[in-house]
Amino acid sequence: MPVRTTRRATLAAMLPASAALAQGTDKGAEGWPERPIRFVIGGSAGGVSDILVRILENRLRERLGQALVLDPRPGAGGMVGAETVARAPADGYNFYINHIASHGIGPSLYRRLSFDPLKDLPGVAKLAAMPNVLIVKGDSPITSVAEFIAFLRANPAKATFASAGTGTSSHLSGVLLGLRTGVEVTHVPYRGTAPSMAAVMNGEVLFAIDNAPASRQQVLAGMLRALAVSTAARAPTMPELPSLQESGVPEFDVASWYGIAAPAATPRPIVERLGAELVSALQDPGLAQRYREFGAEPTPLGPAAFDAFMQAEVAKWAPVVKASGATVD
């Protein structure tokens, strides 16, 4: 018995680090999870990321046998939360609710990140996508995209738009609109979606293009007017609204998406297990309907497909970020 133990120790010492990690990875996946799992949110409690995970919370607790701990870490377009998880133990108990800002726009926007979002925080599963909506003040004389573009061209000094902050999809959507219409628009960043919506309602700025659920209640109440959705086709959740593209804005296809990411060294069997559970949950008609009622379309993808999707998103947004001139140190 002592000789066998010595041989094992010697063999382990001779293994490359990657092979040793692989051995530990397989073993580490057995019996997972054994304690509550932390999901870090790059925004505030009650925001989109928080709600999308809470809709799945009971299903995941039943399937995994452990509670979920949601940990809000707002700031820097989600990068504060992303860095928190990228540097957390890769033990299968730390995950990040990632999105277009952290893993689509952020890699091109932030010049001095201490981590690489795609390499250090790869995907577990894509959850959902939702359109942004072009909104103006509720009592605005502008009632269509054609009238809106005509107004921009006739009144360049008033071509101002609000965003939830530099580097968010609401910021880059406004930039892209200017690029696609040939109109110079002026960005006015705010500290979050709520104040940016208020800026449109109060007439501080002309328009905003932000997540559909963020403005839905104000649109229904008549305080804001929705003119179009940002996706190439009409959104199933708001079929009454035309898309910007069908309204004459060429090559405009923007969706705010959300998913789950994990530290790169997280044991692969755990990543695959959680990814499969998330994809399965989103294929449940009841849960899918709850997403749609919130304004999000379930778009489940497993780890490999989600990583490929994010690579394409970075390539898509890099030239838009460059054209915007926006950078964050």
Q: Are residues 169 and 318 in the same domain?
A: no
Q: What is the CATH number of the domain that holds 113?
A: 3.40.190.150
Is the pLDDT assigned to residue 258 strictly greater than 60?
Answer: yes
| Torsion region of 110: left, alpha or beta (phi above 0 gives left; psi -120 to 50 gives alpha) | beta
Look up residue 294 and give its amino acid.
F
Do 212 and 101 sit in the same domain of this protein?
no
Report the distance separating Cα 273 and Cα 127, nearest Å.
Answer: 15
- Over residues 68-93, the mean pLDDT reads 93
Looking at residue 22, its pLDDT comes to: 37
In this structure, is residue 214 part of a structural domain?
A: yes
pLDDT mean over 150-161: 96
State how far the Cα of 185 lies from the Cα of 175, in Å rounded to an integer: 7
Neighbours of 68 (CB within 10 A): 18
- Quick one: which of 171, 197, 170, 181 has its CA closest to 145? 181
Whether 2 is covered by a domain: the verdict is no
CA gap 118, 167 in Å, rounded? 17
pLDDT of residue 19 exceeding 70, the answer is no
pLDDT digits (tens, 9 = 90+) for 158-215: 999 999 888 788 999 999 999 999 999 999 998 788 889 999 999 999 999 998 888 8
Establish if 315 belongs to a structural domain: yes
The confidence score (pLDDT) of residue 29 equals 65
pLDDT at position 282: 97
Average pLDDT over residues 92-112: 93
Q: Where is 131: in which H helix or E strand?
A: strand 123-137
Both 68 and 94 in a single domain?
A: yes
Residues 182 and 273 in one domain: no
> In this structure, is residue 25 part of a structural domain?
no
> Domain total for the chain?
2
Structural domain range at position 205? 131-254
Name the pLDDT band for 16 (thresholds 50, 70, 90). Answer: very low
User: Within this chain, do residues 239 and 262 fall inside the same structural domain, yes or no?
Assistant: no
List the alpha helices (DSSP H) in 40-168. 48-64, 79-86, 100, 106-109, 117-120, 145-154
Residue 7 lies in a domain: no
Which pLDDT score, from 0 to 100, does residue 213 have? Answer: 85
Q: What is the pLDDT of residue 25?
A: 40
Q: How confident is the model at residue 44 (pLDDT cuts 50, 70, 90)?
A: confident
Structure confidence at residue 28 (pLDDT): 60
Q: What is the mean pLDDT of the chain?
A: 88
In a domain, 119, yes or no: yes
What are 289-306's pLDDT values in tens digits?
Answer: 999 988 899 999 999 999
- Among the candidates 254, 269, 286, a domain finishes at 254
Among residues 190, 197, 175, 182, which one has the least CA distance to residue 152? 182
Confidence check: pLDDT of 78 > 90: no
- Residues 250 and 144 occupy one common structural domain: yes
Query: Which one of 229, 254, 279 terminates a domain?
Result: 254
Mean pLDDT of 244-257: 94
What pLDDT does 100 receive? 93
Is the pLDDT at 324 greater than 90? The verdict is no
* Domain match, 229 and 172 both: yes
